Amino acid sequence: MAKYVENAAEEVLAAAKELLEKGLVEGTSGNISARQEDGNVAVTPSSLDYRIMELEDIVIVNPAGEVVSGERGPTSEIKLHLAVLAAYEDLAAVIHSHAVHATMFAVAQQPIPTCIDEFTVYLGGEVRCTEYAPSGSDELGEQTVKALEDRGAALIANHGMVAVGTDMKKAMHNTALVERSAKIIWGARQLGAVHPLPEKINENFASVYPFMR
C-alpha cells in the first residue's frame, strides 16, 4: 500500500505556513502536496498568498489531477506532484520551494555536492539538477522523477527545488537541509575550494539513506 499522510490537508496547510515563516517561499511561490489514505492528494491552491491561506483553501485531487473537493483550482505544478507520488509509493509528501540558495544552484544548473555528513545520510547523495522543462508540463514531472531516483530532493533547472518524504516532517527537514547546505557551499566557494566528502565515506553514508528515508 502506498504511504499516506494522516490529516493530509491540515499537514499541507501547516507546511505552507512553516515554509513562509522560514523564508523558503514568498507570496504565492512554491507548492505542497500530501497523499491521503484513499489515494487522493491534498495540494495547495493556485495563486493564493500563504499568509491568508486557510484549511478550506486546500484542494483535493484524484491521481488524474481532477478536483475532488475544494473551491479553488490546484497549484499549476500539480503534474509534478502527481508524477512524483505515482512514481514513488514509499513517499507521501512533496514540497516544491523557491529557496534562494538552492535556486541559485538550479539557475546555474549545478548539482549540490555532498560536502556535509548529514547531507548524504538524509538525502542519499548529491542533489541532482533536472534538465530544463517548462513549468507545469508533463516533461517537468518526468524530469523531476528521474532526478529524485534514490534521493530525498532535486533541483528544478532555472526554477527551484523539490524535497520529498514519507511524511511532511521529513519533506520539510529535507527542504531546510538542502537550502542550508546550498548556502554553506556557496559561502565556502567564496573562501576557496569546496572539498567533497571522501568517496568511501560518502558510500557509507549513502548506505544509511534507505533506512532514514
Is residue 82 within 8 A of residue 141, CB to CB? The reply is: yes
Q: What is the pLDDT of residues 100-126, one digit of tens each?
A: 999 999 999 999 999 988 899 999 999
Of the candidate ranges 8-17, 22-31, 79-88, the one whose mean pLDDT is the lowest? 22-31
* Tally of domains in the chain: 1
Q: Which CATH number is 83's domain given? A: 3.40.225.10
- Residue 71 among the catalytic residues: no
Is residue 2, in this structure, part of any structural domain at all? no
| pLDDT at 37 exceeding the cut of 80 | yes
Extract the C-alpha cell encoding 119.
547531507
Is residue 112, in this structure, part of any structural domain at all? yes
pLDDT at 213: 85
Is residue 142, in this structure, part of any structural domain at all? yes
To the nearest whole number, what is the mean pLDDT of the chain?
Answer: 95
Of residues 6 and 210, more confidence is placed in 6
| pLDDT at 27 exceeding the cut of 80 | no
pLDDT at 55: 97
Is residue 81, in this structure, part of any structural domain at all? yes
Is residue 3, in this structure, part of any structural domain at all? no
Whole-number Å distance between alpha carbons of 172 and 94? 9
Is residue 24, in this structure, part of any structural domain at all? yes
- What mean pLDDT comes out for the span 172-187? 96
Of residues 119 and 157, more confidence is placed in 157
Is residue 1, in this structure, part of any structural domain at all? no
pLDDT at 25: 85
**Residues 18, 26, 56, 77: which is the catalytic one?**
77
Extract the C-alpha cell encoding 6.
494522516
| Strands (DSSP E) found in 14-172 | 31-35, 41-43, 59-61, 67-69, 93-97, 153-156, 160-165
Question: The domain containing residue 13 runs over which residues?
Answer: 8-212
